[in-house]
């Protein structure tokens, strides 16, 4: 499938997830029909490198390769070597746009923080070597990720599902990063995220779904279930335009203006996107 210049770019969608295994073609088609012209599909460990690459080429989308912090317990030197090999092999692939999803997760207590950080730094070094931006996971770990980036600067990228302070956000922006916003915005109680999304300069924001995760509030079945975060339905990239319309309302913008700006921002964060989209690859 080849799509025209997108109205929306979903900068973070796990289209290879098992939740989509039975109907991924229909999921991608629905997203296209709702105006999502391009999706960035990040890997989470070496075992799905082939899957994200194949899906990106199948739909004219793009992909990133990396080892997610939640996959860090089973990841070691052999995995880093496999990532290095895959990045080397993908040098000439226009659909390979970033190293990711990488980062730190300090929300899950059983994860080894030291091991996570070692993996992050090794992957930042690979991003520097291959001159690629990064897709960052920063859950309850923003300051540690910023410290690693100061010591190992990379060619920018996206801080995915950002939920830090405005001061932290501006540190990322100063390093050339964009900040990803998605379904969390749709919850009335997400006051910090909403305030941040309203306060940031227009050139700092990109849209994402993180599908099948971080579903918007309307995918919860009842008000009571929404209130306690239970009974989440599967999120899809096709939900992005409705999420973005809410953000446009918060910022006092039209959805059309937000679409144009966030698409420009995504291409600035991930420079290989521009030619990929222009050429319809």
210 labelled as ligand-binding? yes
213 labelled as ligand-binding? no
45 labelled as ligand-binding? no
> Taking a C-beta distance cutoff of 8 angstroms, is the pair 266, 55 a contact?
no
**Alpha carbon distance 118, 245 (integer Å):** 39
In the chain, how many H helices and how many E strands? 11, 8
Q: Which residues contact 104 (CB under 8 A, 6 or more apart)?
A: 69, 113, 116, 117, 120, 137, 138, 139, 141, 144, 145
> Taking a C-beta distance cutoff of 8 angstroms, is the pair 193, 166 a contact?
no
For β-strands 96-105 and 134-139, DSSP reports them as: parallel
* Residue 76 CA, distance from chain mean position: 23
160 labelled as ligand-binding? yes
State the angle between helix axes of 77-89 and 113-130 in degrees (0 to 180), rounded to the nearest 10: 20
**Alpha carbon distance 221, 232 (integer Å):** 7
**Residue 103: is the preceding peptide bond cis (ω within 30°)?**
no
- Which residues define the annotated binding site for a divalent metal cation? 12, 14, 101, 137, 160, 210
- Which residues define the annotated binding site? 12, 14, 101, 137, 160, 210
């Amino acid at each position: 499938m080849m799509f025209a210049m997108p109205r929306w770019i979903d900068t973070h969608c796990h289209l290879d997830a098992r939740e989509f295994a039975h109907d991924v073609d229909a999921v991608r088609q629905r997203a296209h029909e709702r105006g999502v012209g391009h999706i960035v599909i990040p890997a989470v460990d070496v075992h799905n490198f082939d899957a994200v690459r194949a899906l990106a080429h199948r739909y004219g989308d793009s992909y990133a390769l990396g080892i997610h912090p939640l996959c860090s317990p089973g990841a070691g030197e052999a995995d880093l070597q496999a990532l290095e090999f895959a990045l080397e092999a993908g040098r000439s692939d226009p659909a390979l746009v970033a190293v990711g999803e990488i980062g730190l997760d300090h929300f899950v207590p059983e994860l080894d923080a030291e091991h996570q950080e070692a993996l992050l730094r090794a992957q930042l070094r690979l991003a520097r070597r291959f001159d690629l931006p990064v897709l960052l996971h920063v859950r309850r770990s923003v300051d540690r990720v910023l410290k690693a980036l100061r010591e190992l600067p990379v060619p920018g990228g996206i801080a995915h599902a950002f939920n830090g302070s405005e001061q932290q956000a501006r540190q990322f922006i100063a390093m050339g990063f964009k900040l990803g916003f998605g379904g969390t915005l749709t919850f009335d109680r997400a006051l910090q995220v909403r305030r941040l999304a309203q306060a940031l300069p227009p050139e700092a924001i990109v849209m994402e779904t993180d599908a099948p995760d971080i579903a918007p509030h309307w995918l919860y079945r009842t008000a009571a279930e929404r209130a306690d975060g239970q009974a989440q339905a599967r999120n899809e990239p096709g939900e992005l335009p409705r999420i973005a319309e809410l953000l446009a309302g918060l910022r006092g913008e039209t959805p059309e203006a937000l679409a144009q700006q966030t698409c420009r921002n995504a291409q600035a964060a991930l420079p290989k996107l521009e030619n990929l989209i222009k050429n319809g690859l």
